[in-house]
């Protein structure tokens, strides 16, 4: 598995991305061309640019679960670690509506509400600020400074690329996908070079986020599970589709250090496994049902391998968070082993040294994968999963 785009792809889309990460901003962009590997050296410094300047909205960390807000307040309000759903309207300071979950009567598009764990990224910080402290049914209009929206505009995000290092056929207004997961707009093309701008179109603008909290699940009611079943891109999408799963994150665990990188893990020297960490509501989906999805997604009889992906980072593993999970996992493995003739090589261990993968890996297939063709993460979706996009 590699994190570079392998083929050029162009598609038609509108000019402004949605504010909510769950709404697949890449599907709302202007015509897009993906850069082929290798990435020109001039692009490399963009990988370290601020997350707010990327098209992926927000960070991807999930905070430690906070105590239930019912235990600390008389009124049940949204607190860090709670799962929240909200309707929203995002507008500029002059009142121009950038995005809204409430479709007008003339629109046929099905609008996405915002879904996220409060304080845990996945959407721009403005959502977290606006929703925090609300009770279900309450609304708030909150002004968000550029730093907490799409970042300040910066010259470091504008790069002039020698024309010989860029794909042919680029035109001003196209959106190009970079191999570090970012996207940029082609702003100028001349005889010598192509200029791209990786600033978000809304960078530098203060925005108003008007939200209505429609659902809240206290952090204390949520549980976490961690699984390794090969390349984490497709495994994450499989779990995203499971009803009752409220958030996922791809990353690495079981290695010798608490922090690592994708490049280091791919060397096979760190001991980490590619995993998906699943936050779920046990009142809607049981750990046993998550295990069913785990077994169905991969071949647990191949050691350190899933299909063409070979290496210890692709091993089959169940990494428990509680003793109850351990007992359930062991019983489930025994049943699978009997069914598969004693050939199951899945390891069961207590989760350790989990760290999230780089932002461009998160919800990779939902955002378009290698070829820019988004795959549905809708609950209950049974569409075949294209492992690399």
Residues known to be catalytic:
231
Task: Residue count of the chain, please give it.
Answer: 389
Instruction: Find the Cα–Cα–Cα–Cα dihedral 185, 186, 187, 193, rounded to 10°.
Output: 150
Yes or no: say if 13 and 30 are a contact pair by the CB < 8 Å rule: yes
For 163, other C-beta atoms within 10 Å of its C-beta total 14
Yes or no: say if 226 and 351 are a contact pair by the CB < 8 Å rule: yes
Yes or no: say if 320 and 351 are a contact pair by the CB < 8 Å rule: yes
């Amino acid at each position: 598995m590699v994190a570079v785009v392998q083929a050029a792809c162009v598609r038609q889309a509108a000019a402004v991305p949605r504010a909510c990460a769950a709404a697949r901003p890449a599907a709302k962009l202007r015509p897009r061309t993906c850069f082929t590997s290798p990435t020109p050296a001039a692009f490399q410094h963009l990988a370290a640019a601020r997350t707010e300047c990327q098209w992926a909205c927000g960070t991807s960390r999930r905070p430690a679960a906070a105590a239930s807000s019912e235990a600390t307040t008389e009124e049940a309000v949204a607190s860090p670690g709670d799962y929240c759903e909200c309707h929203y309207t995002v507008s500029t300071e002059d009142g121009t509506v950038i995005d809204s979950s409430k479709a007008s009567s003339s629109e046929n598009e099905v609008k996405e509400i915002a879904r996220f764990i409060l304080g845990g990224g996945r959407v721009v910080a403005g959502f977290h600020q606006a929703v925090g402290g609300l009770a279900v049914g309450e609304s708030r209009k909150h002004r968000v400074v550029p730093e907490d929206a799409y970042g300040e505009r910066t010259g470091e995000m504008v790069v002039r690329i020698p024309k010989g290092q860029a794909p042919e056929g680029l035109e001003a207004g196209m959106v190009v996908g970079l191999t570090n997961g970012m996207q940029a707009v082609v702003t100028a093309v001349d005889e010598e070079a192509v200029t791209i701008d990786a600033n978000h179109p809304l960078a530098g603008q203060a925005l108003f986020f008007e939200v209505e909290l429609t659902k809240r699940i206290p952090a204390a009611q949520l549980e976490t599970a961690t699984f390794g079943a090969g390349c984490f891109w497709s495994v994450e999408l499989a779990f995203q589709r499971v009803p009752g799963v409220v958030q996922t994150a791809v990353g690495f665990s079981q290695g010798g250090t608490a922090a690592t990188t994708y490049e280091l893990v791919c060397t096979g020297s760190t001991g980490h496994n590619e995993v998906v960490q699943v936050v779920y509501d046990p009142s809607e989906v049981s750990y046993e049902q998550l295990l069913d999805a785990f077994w169905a997604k991969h071949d647990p009889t191949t050691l350190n391998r899933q299909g063409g992906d070979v290496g210890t980072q692709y091993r089959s593993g169940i990494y428990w968070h509680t003793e109850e999970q351990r007992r359930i996992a062991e019983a489930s493995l025994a049943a699978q082993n009997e069914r598969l003739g004693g050939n199951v090589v899945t390891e069961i261990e207590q989760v350790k040294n989990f760290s999230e993968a780089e932002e461009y890996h998160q919800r990779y297939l939902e955002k378009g994968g290698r070829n820019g063709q988004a795959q549905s993460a809708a609950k209950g979706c049974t569409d075949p999963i294209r492992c690399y996009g």
